[in-house]
């Protein structure tokens, strides 16, 4: 019996040593970055899919199970997930991933946040984010910042593999930086162009590439346009000869299509996340797709 126990003991030791960290993220872009840094040392799952609006995710029991087993939770922050993540955190009964714990990471820290509102904020203004625009992952330069913070956090949780996380990070940086240069060079051809968008999802993407938002199809964040507002947009698009209307692929495309029919501006229905369309299975491929789509119409 003693001999059998020793055999089990020595078999179990290497299995425990090879156990992977369980990482749960709120959106697939954070999952893609965590996988780049963690590689084979982590298992990564995203709660939201790339074709879902991350503002309004339904808290499912399956999400609670994933969070209960997590060693690290990575969220966008800036109140993007405020409508659904707090209840999942409570239900997860996992002290490791609660805000302030070692296994919790708010990926917005260290990012230069845009569109932080000033003055009084109330519901009459629509779904305004009081801490600023949370769609910061849509700049690959911010993606580098996020990846560095993930590497630091993984090393904090699992210091025995810190050098490997750092090596994986360097490999990702060395691959992404030349791509960023290529995308920026391509965007020189349409830098300064004015476009109309559905929501403020592409603020950081436009700021990175030098595009300008002439107007929003939503009169206020999260508020659908009225017929009168559509008419005002038609006038603006016609006067300024706006070439392009951009709608996130999880929103109703009918308002942008109506505007296109009335003005001749082209419609682009774009993903905002990894996995938002078939074939976009990495952080790099997301930006390859977005930049090429814009190049095709601008």
Backbone CA torsion sign across 147, 148, 149, 153: positive
Q: Which residues, 6 or more positions from 110, have their beta carbon under 8 angstroms from its beta carbon?
A: 145, 149
The phi and psi torsions of 248 (rounded to 5 degrees) equal -65, 145
CB-count exposure of residue 68 (10 Å: 0-12, 13-18, 19+): middle
All domains of the chain in start order, with CATH: 12-181 (3.40.50.1980), 182-297 (3.40.50.1980)
Question: Digits of tens for pLDDT over the chain (298 positions)?
Answer: 555 454 444 444 444 456 899 999 999 999 999 999 999 999 999 999 999 999 999 999 999 999 999 999 999 999 999 999 999 999 999 999 999 999 999 999 999 999 998 877 655 455 667 899 999 999 999 999 999 999 999 999 999 999 999 999 999 999 999 999 999 999 999 999 999 999 899 999 999 999 999 999 988 877 888 889 999 999 999 999 999 999 999 999 999 999 999 999 999 999 999 999 999 999 999 999 999 999 999 8
Beta strands 266-270 and 244-248 are parallel
């Amino acid at each position: 019996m003693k001999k059998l126990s020793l055999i089990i003991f020595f078999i179990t030791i290497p299995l425990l040593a090879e156990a992977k960290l369980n990482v749960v993220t709120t959106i697939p872009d954070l999952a893609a970055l965590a996988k780049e840094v963690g590689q084979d040392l982590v298992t990564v799952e995203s709660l939201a899919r790339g074709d879902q609006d991350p503002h309004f995710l339904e808290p499912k029991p399956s999400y609670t199970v994933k969070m209960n087993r997590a060693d690290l939770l990575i969220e966008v922050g800036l109140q993007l997930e405020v409508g659904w993540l707090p209840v999942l955190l409570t239900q997860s009964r996992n002290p490791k991933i609660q805000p302030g714990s070692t296994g919790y990471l708010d990926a917005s820290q260290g990012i230069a946040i845009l569109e932080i509102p000033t003055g009084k904020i109330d519901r009459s203004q629509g779904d305004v984010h009081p801490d600023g625009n949370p769609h910061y992952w849509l700049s690959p330069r911010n993606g580098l910042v996020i990846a560095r913070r993930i590497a630091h956090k993984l090393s904090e949780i699992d210091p025995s593999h810190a050098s490997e996380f750092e090596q994986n990070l360097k490999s990702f940086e060395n691959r992404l930086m030349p791509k960023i240069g290529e995308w920026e060079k391509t965007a020189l051809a349409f830098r300064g162009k004015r476009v109309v968008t559905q929501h403020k999802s592409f603020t950081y993407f436009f700021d990175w590439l030098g595009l300008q938002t002439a107007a929003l199809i939503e009169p206020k964040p999260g508020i659908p346009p009225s017929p009168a507002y559509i008419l005002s947009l038609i006038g603006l698009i016609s006067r300024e000869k706006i070439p392009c209307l951009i709608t996130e692929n999880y929103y109703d495309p009918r308002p942008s299509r109506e505007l296109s029919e009335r003005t001749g501006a082209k419609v682009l229905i774009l993903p905002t996340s990894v996995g938002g369309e078939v074939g976009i299975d990495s952080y790099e491929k997301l930006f390859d797709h977005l930049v090429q789509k814009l190049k095709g119409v601008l």
